[in-house]
Amino acid sequence: MNESASPVSSPVQPRALQALYSAEVSPEAAMTEERLPFTVRLVRTEDDLRRAINMRYEAYARHMPEFAEKLKQPESDDFERDSIIMLAESKLDGSVIGTMRVQNNEYRPLSMEHAIALPDWLRTQSMVEVRRLGVANGQAGRLVKMVLTKANLLYCAKNNIKWAMLAARPPLDRSYEKLLFIDVLPGQTFTPLPVANNVPHRVMGIEIETIEARLTAEKHPLLNFFCKIKHPDICVDVEPEPSKVILKRESLQQFATN
């Protein structure tokens, strides 16, 4: 990576997120443990996938009803080996209250790269792209969104991924700006994306290793939430690759016949 070309200066790279996964935490690095009213885990079964897609459709239907019709069925990226789908489920009744798909660039470019050219300094980094975020309507939705965002950052930290990327339409882009995501396309703020019905989106990213330092420098109110509180209800452990691929291929056939 060409450090001079990067918009982020990172002389210190704390590993706070990795510490959240440590089985043996030293006394000086001890963290508060906090329980949530819901769990976050990865889609494992056909039923999980169906429930995630239903949540995705309901969320998009509130703001983009015509485009949401295309989301009643799974997308090809749902079945790729470089993608995971997160599922947030209420502890009260087991209902799905949030979902999000995360694709890494280990095997192929990010989905957004079909429409935009990322800067050279970034293209060579290990990255994920967050897509198809959907949360339940109402006040609880904000907490679910923040927890899913943290789950993605933990997934990145655990798998040595350097950058988390997303494309956000207005006004949702402002919420990511407040979380210190930055614009990564020089001279461009909003770009129409074919994968999002050509609605202008803001392409943004955050460097995983410098999250704690940047939140600390900004005296950010969510510093503790993201970096100093351990949430056992978040589990982003990935199952073995072969069974995942077989499961999802079988799921695709089921969706095609139902």
Q: Is residue 242 within 8 Å of 46, Cβ to Cβ?
A: no
Closest listed residue to residue 72, CA positions, set 147, 137, 134, 142? 134
> In which residue are the tokens 């006040």 written?
139
Q: Is residue 51 within 8 Å of 88, Cβ to Cβ?
A: no
Global confidence as pTM: 0.84
**Pairing of the two strands 163-168 and 199-207:** antiparallel
**Is 9 a domain residue?**
no
**Is 23 a domain residue?**
no
Q: Which range marks the domain in which residue 126 is found?
A: 31-253
For residues 33-52, average pLDDT: 95
Query: What pLDDT digit, counting tens, does each position of 187-227 carry?
Result: 666 665 655 566 777 899 999 999 999 999 999 999 999 99
Number of domains in the chain: 1
**Is 84 a domain residue?**
yes
CA geometry: angle 57, 60, 66, nearest 5 deg: 90
CATH number for the domain including 48? 3.40.630.30
Query: What pLDDT digit, counting tens, does each position of 228-247 carry?
Result: 999 999 999 886 554 454 45
For residues 118-134, average pLDDT: 94
**Is 138 a domain residue?**
yes
**Is 226 a domain residue?**
yes
55, HSE (Cβ side, Cα atoms, 13 Å):
28
**Percent of the chain residues topping a pLDDT of 90:** 63
**Is 166 a domain residue?**
yes
**Is 224 a domain residue?**
yes
pLDDT at 30: 52
Residue length, the chain?
258
**Is 83 a domain residue?**
yes
- First-last CA distance in the chain: 47
Q: Which of 56-65, 70-79, 120-129, 188-197 has the lowest mean pLDDT?
A: 188-197
For residues 71-97, average pLDDT: 95
